[in-house]
Amino acid sequence: MKWVNFEVDGQLWCGLLQNQHISTLGTGCLSQFLGQLDSKNFSARTRRLIPLEDVRLRQPIIRPGKILGIGLNYAAHVAESVSFVSNDRPEIQKWFNKQATAAAGPGDPIHVPAVSDQVDYEAELVVVIGKTGRHVPPERAMEVVAGFTCGCDVSVRDWQRASPTMIMGKGFDTHAPFGPALVTPDEVGELSGLSISGYVNDELRQEARLGDMIHKIPEQIAHLSAAFTLEPGDVIFTGTPAGVGAGHAPPKWLKAGDIVRVEIENVGCLENPVITETGTSRIGEERL
């Protein structure tokens, strides 16, 4: 099943995506219904059928409690990263946080910030947590997963290098787009053989199989939950293949006018335009 958040006439709804239409689950965010996303619960709540072309899709979790990302999780990406991070294959998982304000959805613009032009793309599979979990063993890790979606771990490389934790370079506003749909594990199927691809302006830049991950998703969930509780609505960026902009000589940074696209077999396609941030000061205002 493919679940989405969407807006109609400025109101937020959630529902089930089927054949270019959305069957509504109700008003509000999909995060309210995590852990209940089965056909029985859905059939009891559905209200309307809306054409997909009449809505604005939003990210599957509007305001994630945690946005967690693992670094250096594909061997070929480890090899290319010597110029901007490290070329040491991590025996212990390397994690960082992206800020909740980085969350963005399909079609939302990625900002080239006023303070840097070294903006990079990273195509990734994103895991959405659906049940609370602490000290989750790998063999039970999928029990806490609500589903999967596409994501782009946008990275500001000079700010990333300047901070050992990578938080500053990974957490800029708009730099965690994900979506369009939350696809349940039963529909995605076995992950290992599925392809992941990243494009910039229709140029294929990244390509791999999800099975190429060094640390698999059950291992990631077990490692994270050994330290802190995973909660419904947390999202996990699971690592990127080789081919990022910083891996090219000279680097291929994102610039205004570019279109970034992430495609994952059985999961979907996420596309975002790139624009220049205005850098305008905002104090006491809602984020636009």
pLDDT digits (tens, 9 = 90+) for 94-151: 999 999 999 999 999 999 999 999 999 999 999 999 999 999 999 999 999 999 999 9
- Give the residue-averaged pLDDT of 166-190: 97
CATH 3.10.105.10 fits 67-276, yes or no: no
Which position has the higher pLDDT, 87 or 165? 165
Examine the pLDDT at 286 and tell me if it is beyond 70.
no
Give the mean model confidence (pLDDT) for residues 59-80. 94
Report the pLDDT averaged over residues 173-195. Answer: 97
The confidence band for 39, taking pLDDT boundaries of 50, 70 and 90, is low
Q: Where are the domains of the chain?
A: 2-58, 67-276
- CA nearest to 120, candidates 260, 224, 269: 260
Mean pLDDT of 19-40: 84
**pLDDT band (50, 70, 90) for residue 287:** low
- Report the percentage of the chain scoring pLDDT > 70: 92
Looking at residue 288, what is its pLDDT?
45
* Pick from 34-43, 113-122, 182-191, 255-264: least confident: 34-43
